[in-house]
Structure 1
Amino acid sequence: MKKGAMGKYWAAAALVASAAGSMSAHAADWADNSIGYRYGTRFAEPFNSQDITKNIVNFTHASGYKYGTNFLNVDLLMSDNKDDNAQEAYIVYRHTLDIGKISGKDLSFGPARGVGFTLGFDWNTKNDNSYASKKRMLVVGPTLMMDVPGFLNVSLLALFESNQPKGITSRYSYDTHPMLNLAWGIPFGSTGLAFEGYMNYIASKGKNEFGGPTSPELNFDGQIMYDVGNTIGMGKNTFRVGLEYQYWRNKFGNPNYVPGSLAKTPMIRAEYHF
């Protein structure tokens, strides 16, 4: 994608985020905010063969209004000295419009309760001494909302991604490529337990910024969470703890022969909702 086109996409993303935030603030049917913490000792980074310890603090906002939903997650990741004691910020925003609600028609069919359209972006910056990622990515595409307890969204998204890591003098745009995304939050009845997470299958994005090949990547991140707050009188879904596991093959599109391109990372996780 040319630089001018990328600027137009970012202007559109900023406009949608601003409008969605305004609608959420003034006409939200529901909203949930949380501050979370997770910790693991077996994180992986491409071209690094060592297990990396990371402490991660996050803020998450989810809300729904008459015509759709908003999701925002901000991760602050802090690595140990095996990853240069690096600090990273990673932001994900998604806005899903419910086409049935907009049109006033019932679009449910088979296992799907509705059809949507998702637009959003990823943004990151990291201050390690090697790659020092500066990722910018716009996502857009259709979404099926499945008829399950809680939610399960299945999206097919086009990714418009660029980066300008250390040693690259100008921003590099990868080939536009598709991603199959699943995002879910499934409660286990009234037990206080829930299975939550996401899975991304991302096609190859062509040559990387150094002229090398990229490979399709698979990123599964799931957690079993327990509602501790409800059992100690803090209120339902106020304080939750659990175990999380991430499996990430060909991380960031790096082929499997690259050290650190495969992550198998167990974590502990805690969240306070307000």
Structure 2
Amino acid sequence: MQFSTSRLALAALLALATVGAQAADWSDTSIGYRYGSKFAEPFGENTIHKSIIDLNHVSGYSYGTNFFNADFLVSDKSDPSSPGSSNGATEVYIVYRHTLDLSKVSGSKLSWGVIRNLGLTAGFDVNVKDDAGYNSRKRMLVAGPTMMFDVPGFLNVSLLELWESNAPYNEFTRSGVSRYSYDAHPMLTAAWSIPLIKGVPLTFEGFANFIAGKGKNEFGGETAPETNIDAQIMYDAGTLMGAPGKFKVGFEYQYWKNKFGNSYKGAAGDGAFAKTPMIRAEYHF
């Protein structure tokens, strides 16, 4: 791993510590692992094997909720760390969201019909990847309104504006571009965790992002709208050991069309259209 990745991992831990330092009314933290053999990367392969370790934290306090996730991704040689290398690329991807609960802030009940509550969400995405080609250094701020639906578990839908930039630098060719800002663009996003069968510890979980095109990329090409749906069916195996909520296993599927805004019908090819089944396990503490 390059030093920049180590610094980003340290920043992730500091951010999580900051979140945890707040006076939380409730919280859930987990370490997870998932694996699949059909990951894809634009301009590359669509049969990449990846192992992903994640650190996840969600908590609620007097005026809202925090969500934090850090993924550490390790590819096989189909997504090499350098040209011709048998070592796979590595990546750290971090997401943070804060949702302000407007009912709690205003002291008024903001619910009607299927809408349980309203909120305002803001946060960021940041990543670093060391690979043979693009070497992403993404930075993105997000903000917008959130609707919370009245369902078992939760279903939140947000309309967020995205301010994204990147500064890829290929350390093998010693070439790159200065940090480049895409056009501000909207994203309709949903996140959910819903029980499937009463009395059976199965949940349907995941997120869906529908992202508009972001203008021209840093090389002058047009970007495409992208769809990223990641859904899981998880079984609470902790119930078998008298520790419900502690250990979950399940299956996950990711559908990612026009990955990172690269059209799969153009030069990015099939690598810009991922259809990835995975196995997943989580330990909660």
**TM-score using structure 1 length:** 0.91
Alignment of 1:110-125 (within 5 A): 110-125=113-128
The equivalent residue for 1:264 is 275
Structure 1 moving runs of 4+ over 4 Å:
20-24
2:234 maps to which residue? Answer: 225
User: 2:226, 2:98 → 1: CA distance?
Assistant: 24
Deviation at 1:49, TM superposition (A): 3.2
Q: Which residue of 2 aligns with 1:183?
A: 191
- The separation in 2 between residues aligned to 1:181 and 1:57, in whole angstroms, is 23
Question: Is 1:196 aligned to 2:181, yes or no?
Answer: no
For the 8 Å contact 1:198–1:222, the answer to whether it is kept is yes
Q: Residues 45 and 79 of structure 2 are in contact (CA less than 8 Å); yes or no, is this contact kept in structure 1?
A: no
Secondary structure in structure 2 of the residue aligned to 1:100: helix
Q: State the Cα distance separating 1:256 from its structure 2 match.
A: 2.1
Which amino acid counterpart does residue 201 of structure 1 have in structure 2?
A: F
Specify whether residues 50 and 104 from structure 1 end up closer, same or farther in structure 2 by C-alpha distance, changes over 3 A only.
closer
User: 239, 244, 247: which is aligned to 2:247?
Assistant: 239
- 1:30-88 residue CA offsets vs partner (Å, 9 max, x unmatched): 00000000000000000013410000000000000111000000000000000001000
SS at match of 1:159: strand
Q: How many residues align?
A: 257
Query: Is 1:172 matched up with 2:168?
Result: no
- RMSD across aligned C-alpha pairs, in angstroms? 1.6
The structure 1 residue matched to 2:60, chosen from 61, 64, 75, is 64
Q: Tell me, in whole angstroms, the C-alpha distance in 1 between the residues paired with 2:66 and 2:189.
A: 16
Shift of 1:169: 3.1
Q: TM-score, normalised by structure 2?
A: 0.87
**3-state SS of paired residue (2:147):** strand
Q: In structure 2, how many angstroms separate the alpha carbons of the residues matched to 1:48 and 1:113? A: 44
Match of residue 6 from structure 2: none
Matches within 5 A, 1:123-138: 123-138=126-141
State the alpha-carbon separation in 2 of the partners of residues 120 and 264 from structure 1: 27
Task: Give percent identity, aligned residues only.
Answer: 61
| C-alpha distance after superposition, 1:83-113 (max 9, x if no partner) | 0010000000000000111000000022111
For the 8 Å contact 2:93–2:126, the answer to whether it is kept is: yes
Further displaced range: 80-89 or 47-56:
47-56
SS at match of 2:178: coil
For the residues of structure 1 that align with 2:152 and 2:34, how far apart are their CA atoms? 26
Are the equivalent residues in 2 in contact too, given 1:63–1:70 (CA < 8 A)? yes
Q: Is contact 2:19-2:66 (8 Å) kept?
A: no
Q: Contact conserved, 2:46 with 2:274, CA < 8 A, in 1?
A: no
Cα pair distance change 1:183/1:116, threshold 3 Å: same
1:74 equivalenced with 2:70 (yes/no):
yes
Residues 24 and 65 in structure 1, CA contact (< 8 A), matched pair in contact too:
no
